[in-house]
Amino acid sequence: MAAKPTRPSELGGLADPAEFTAPIAIDGVEPETLRGYLRSMLKIRIVEEVVGELVERGLARAPCHLGIGQEAVAVGVSAQLEATDRVFGGHRSHAHYLALGGDVYRLLAEILGKEDGTSKGMGGSMHLLGREVGFHGSVPLVGATIPIAVGAGLACKMDGRGAIAVSYFGDGAAEEGVFHESMNLAAVLQLPVLFVCENNLYSSHLDIGVRQPSDRVARYGEAHRISSVTVDGNDVVAVESAASELIGAARRGDGPALLEAVTYRHRGHVGPREDVDVGIRRSQSEIQAWKGRDPIARVANAMQGHELLDEPALHAIEANLREEIAAACQRAEAASYPADSALLDRVFAETSA
């Protein structure tokens, strides 16, 4: 068993689940915008709960990595993105796809390996695609889409239409060499790329305090002379505000930026369980403490405190979403699998001369 880290946290209170538990600050944010954030985060939460149930029922047989607890990051960043931007994710990207407006039915169909899935049932949970909403792909190899996002950023710069590329990754990917090569190239070429690190303090099963001399990932951006900001990743308004500043600068030609959003996943690395028995610091008491900083509860409580929402309205939103998602799941379960003959058809693509 790895020893509990003894070094002081450079993230300070952001790494302490006993802090930042109060309702978030929403002064100046339009009520309709807040309702949109709340609905989007609830949708992501419920979809991932359904995915967990599909795994437990043995219907979803591909590895499924749930980001329950991390919804504010994707929703806050996506609020500043356009469908013409080019977004890339990794193995935990259900939220990235859905926050951009991705279709729930197509996501669930993909996870179940059905023909109507985002990758025609060939990719499962970790190979999502939704170019119609700006999501250009996710792959399970840690850090693998970071250089692809930089290439997309180069294309955006050459196009000159103001689009940007976004690369989502976790704190574990920041330990990959390709992460640093990609940031260096983006900085040298001043590419419009937003690197978004969802720092949930664990790489798979190992605490960042055991793996790194500091728990603050933004220091890597500073080393590459890239604008870097660390925010409370469980505060959707804080994430959106930071993303607005960094994305606006990238669109204006100021080059790449790094947004570190400190957050926490309620479930384990893979599958629906909470992973309290894999021999590391993560414990039931720690998970429960972090649930006290739940991003959905904090925005809902803030809205109720400002009389923008009441309990019946919150329950109605949740009930409508659960009904909508249950119908999508039922339809996905009944959908057809791809024909065996399609297996090789989708390995190669025809290209024009």
pLDDT (tens digit per residue) in 279-318? 566 788 999 999 999 999 999 999 999 999 999 999 999 9
Q: What is the DSSP string of 161-221?
A: SS--EEEEEETTGGGSHHHHHHHHHHHHHT--EEEEEEE-SEETTEEHHHH-S-S-THHHH
What is the number of helices (H) and of strands (E) in the chain?
13, 8
Model pLDDT, residue 8: 86
H/E stretch holding 73 reads: helix 71-78
CA distance 206 to 243: 28
Task: Give yes or no for a contact between 86 and 129, defined as CB atoms under 8 angstroms apart.
Answer: no
Position 160, amino acid:
G
Q: The pTM is what?
A: 0.95
Can you tell me the mean pLDDT for 263-292?
87
DSSP state of 231: E
pLDDT (tens digit per residue) in 45-76? 999 999 999 999 999 999 999 999 999 999 99
Distance of CA 191 to the CA centre of its chain: 22
Name the pLDDT band for 6 (thresholds 50, 70, 90). low
Strand ranges, E, within 81-138: 86-89, 135-138
CA distance 42 to 297: 10
Task: Give yes or no for a contact between 236 and 301, defined as CB atoms under 8 angstroms apart.
Answer: no
CA distance 352 to 41: 41
**Cα torsion through 252, 255, 258, 259, rounded to 10:** 0
Within 10 angstroms of residue 140's Cβ, the number of other Cβ atoms is 19
Return the ∠ at Cα 78 (arms to 77 and 84), rounded to 5°.
125
Phi and psi for 231 in degrees, rounded to 5?
Answer: -130, 165
CA distance 341 to 107: 23
Q: Which residues pair with 232 in a beta bridge?
A: 262
pLDDT (tens digit per residue) in 92-142? 999 999 999 999 999 999 999 999 999 999 999 999 999 999 999 999 999
CA distance 323 to 325: 6
Phi and psi for 309 in degrees, rounded to 5?
Answer: -160, 145
**Weakest-pLDDT range from 5-14, 126-135, 211-220, 292-301:** 5-14
